[in-house]
Structure 1
Amino acid sequence: MKIFFDYRIFLHQAGGGISRYIINLSKSFNEKNLKNEIIAPIHINRMLKDYSLNLKKNVGFFINRKPLFTSKILDYVNSFSTQLYINKIRPNVYHKTYYGSFPNLKKTTKVVTVHDLIHEKFHEYYGMPENYRPKKKSLEQADKIICVSKTTKEDLLNFYNLDEKKIKVINHGHEHILNLTKKKNLNKKKEILYVGGRGKYKNFKNFVQAFVFNQKLKNEFRIVCFGGGVFNKSEINFFSKNNILDKIRYVEGNDYKLAELYNSSICLVYPSLYEGFGLPIIEAMAIGCPVLASEIKPIIETAGDAVIYFNPKKIEDISQKLEFFLYQNNKNKIIEQGFKKVEKFRWSNCAKETLNFYDA
């Protein structure tokens, strides 16, 4: 079997959960000696760049960022090159890494993974009408659709008229983060970790307001943010207005740095209003970093009883749950529950289930 992953996500993002999913799926297929290729003729993805170096194989040309007004040109070049390449290798499976039309394919199983329905549920955040359906072409053209959680599948069927028989739920894995750190049981810094984007539905502002609201926390702890880009002017003004410029810092780096932060931080706070799966939650739990998260359906599905929940819309509740956790003496119970929970989320299982679905 020949499996082909396209360029889409690697031209769209420099790194992130979807990139990590595709790369770890490819790694797992390699471990099974399954022929698979990721081809991104021109891309901006640092995770793919590192993976390519580890493979000692050229998967495409990396650029630091897309020059202004070149998105359509770069997409055309990638699309044209991809069509030429698949005409040559004739893959059995074409697994699209992000949404858009499939190329012209014969005798090839077309697959797409749906990670969340954020653009549909929060269309107003993106200036789109209520009937905005950006995945429509991909979903209609796909022979098979993978959803990363049961919640994502339910949301997908609410927004799109699809045959449920061509949809399968396959969860992510966690092993990638364990390979990035040898340190265990460090003396934790008095830092609360936040990972990822901070805008819109991510609800970062409510988390910071909960921190500001609690003088006890503000006096004793700091916030460290990883990823999502440097603080913008609006964020800096907000921190300054609330006198916490010296209490919050931004860190960027690779996955090794992220693993180090999971190891050294006293906890991860995940205040999102919506997620498809919540990969940082299982990454943190796998390393022994306790998690406090929004009490919303997709996170409950992923984390179960292994996190401390709060109402993400109530600043006082976030503050109270943080204080309750940070000042309790025994944090081992929630850590042990996290270790047990992540055992069900393995990339080896993800690869096995995905391969079976390709063949079904």
Structure 2
Amino acid sequence: MNIVINAFSARLGGGQTYLINLLRHIPDRSDLKITVLAPEELQMPDHPAINRYYPSWPVTNPLTRTIWEKLFLPRYLRRAGADVLFCPGGVVAGTVPRGCKVVTMFRNMIPFDKRVLGYIPFGLQRIRNWLLYRAMLRSMSGADLTIFISDYARGVIEKLTSIPNPVTIPHGIGKEFREVDINVARPECLAEGEYILYVSRFDVYKHHYEVVSGYAKLPAHYQKQFRLLLIGESDMPGAERVHELIKALGLDDRVTILGAVPYKQLPAYYHHAGLVLFASSCENCPNILLESLGAGRPVLSSDVMPMPEFGGEAAAYFSPFSPDDIANKMERVLSDDAYARTLSEAAVLQAKKYDWEKTADSTWSNIFKLIDDAK
């Protein structure tokens, strides 16, 4: 059984986290061979079934990568005797040899969210998302198996095209993010005192501007007791607007933007937070929300789907478009210790539904069934 995984597009944290956890939980099969198309910098688990292949052709650029996938990938699959080509990035650019099955995955919701597309100015980025929209729909409608990571996203796509063989397999939560561990040291860079945490890169649809505006509406004694800590890539246009807002509101001493933090360091920030926010309005499977639940802290989340699909009754919800609603929901949790404890306890229980081992087992089982049924 020979499976080829096209991981050239797994350059960001979410894609890499998924791939690494999938490869950490490979079933014990003596006939299994997995070839991962990936650069050397992508760290993968050491497993006898895993091989890495990286062509001499430049594939870091999306355009040159597409050319390689169209012209050379079919030949490589034929030489390798591939039973399956798995494209977790969501786009199947080339054709496959006869007898080779295609598995794809839907991860990127942005090309299908009209509200988010409205934030993007006309130009290359808008064109790129239009091309992705068409390529992803074509890939999913033509694949032998399409993996969705939320029922919400599956519903969006199934309204647009027919999917021959869909399955929903949500992402998991890493063990390092689960529950509060008193032995996890507080990050050294943090000043003393309690804080409200929001982890997300500074895209417009992540609503940092509304979160800061909502925080500014909290009564002064809550601002004094709880600082607002923002973690996420901040070298983007949306960040400058947030910086200006913080300065205009006189919150420089109460709102801290740390920027990007190494993934392995994030659990400590979650575990020591008094309250965790997640304010995005465009997600497929919200990994950050899952990690927030896993930490066992009280969680406030955007009420835009699919967040309620994953948070259930374990989170309190607000409109990410309304600073007033954000402020009211924050104050409700901060003012009621019993309510905060109820949310924390519910978060721990909800998080148990999401586990990377379960995600991987279900994924491999569906891929193996596809191969076995073709024999």
TM-score, structure 1 as length reference: 0.83
* Offset of residue 173 of structure 1: 0.9
User: For residues 1-360 of structure 1, what are the structure 2 equivalents within 5 Å?
Assistant: 1-10=1-10, 13=11, 15-29=12-26, 35-41=33-39, 48-49=42-43, 51=44, 59=52, 71-73=62-64, 76=67, 82-83=73-74, 85-106=76-97, 107-122=99-114, 123-126=117-120, 127=122, 128=126, 133-134=133-134, 135-158=136-159, 160-163=160-163, 165-178=164-177, 183-184=182-183, 189-216=193-220, 217-230=222-235, 232-246=239-253, 247-330=255-338, 331-358=340-367, 359-360=369-370
Give 1 or 2 for the bigger CA radius of gyration: 2
Q: Counterparts of 1:263 and 1:278 in 2: how far apart (Å)?
A: 18
Q: SS in structure 1 opposite 2:257?
A: strand
Letter aligned with residue 213 of structure 2: Q
Contact 1:9 1:19 in 2 (8 A): no
Contact 1:26 1:36 in 2 (8 A): no
Q: Residues 259 and 55 of structure 1: is their aligned pair in 2 closer, same or farther, counting only changes over 3 Å?
A: farther
Where does residue 373 of structure 2 map in the other structure?
none
Contact 2:69 2:94 in 1 (8 A): no
Q: Residues 55 and 38 of structure 1: is their aligned pair in 2 closer, same or farther, counting only changes over 3 Å?
A: same
* Offset of residue 77 of structure 1: 5.6
Contact 1:177 1:255 in 2 (8 A): no
Q: Which has the higher mean CA deviation after the structures are superposed, 168-177 or 85-94?
A: 85-94
- Give unpaired runs (5+ residues) of structure 1: none
Q: Residues 324 and 185 of structure 1: is their aligned pair in 2 closer, same or farther, counting only changes over 3 Å?
A: farther
Q: SS in structure 2 opposite 1:341?
A: helix
* Offset of residue 80 of structure 1: 6.2
* Offset of residue 75 of structure 1: 5.3
Q: Counterparts of 2:225 and 2:179 in 1: how far apart (Å)?
A: 29
Letter aligned with residue 225 of structure 1: L
Q: SS in structure 1 opposite 2:347?
A: helix
Contact 2:70 2:95 in 1 (8 A): no
Q: SS in structure 2 opposite 1:229?
A: coil
Q: Residues 311 and 282 of structure 1: is their aligned pair in 2 closer, same or farther, counting only changes over 3 Å?
A: same
CA deviations over 1:5-31 (Å, ceiling 9, x no partner):
213422xx3x22232122211211267
Contact 1:117 1:156 in 2 (8 A): no
Q: How many residues align?
A: 343
Q: SS in structure 2 opposite 1:103?
A: coil
CA deviations over 1:177-196 (Å, ceiling 9, x no partner):
34899655878951111112
Q: Counterparts of 2:279 and 2:243 in 1: how far apart (Å)?
A: 20
Q: Which has the higher mean CA deviation after the structures are superposed, 89-98 or 23-32?
A: 23-32
Q: SS in structure 2 opposite 1:333?
A: helix
- Give unpaired runs (5+ residues) of structure 2: 187-191, 371-375
Output the aligned Cα RMSD. 3.2
Letter aligned with residue 81 of structure 2: R
Contact 1:8 1:96 in 2 (8 A): no
Letter aligned with residue 235 of structure 1: V
Q: Counterparts of 1:137 and 1:190 in 2: how far apart (Å)?
A: 49
Q: Residues 264 and 32 of structure 1: is their aligned pair in 2 closer, same or farther, counting only changes over 3 Å?
A: farther
Q: SS in structure 2 opposite 1:302?
A: helix
Q: Counterparts of 2:83 and 2:145 in 1: how far apart (Å)?
A: 13
Letter aligned with residue 354 of structure 2: F
CA deviations over 1:22-43 (Å, ceiling 9, x no partner):
221121126777543322247x
Q: Counterparts of 1:90 and 1:314 in 2: how far apart (Å)?
A: 54
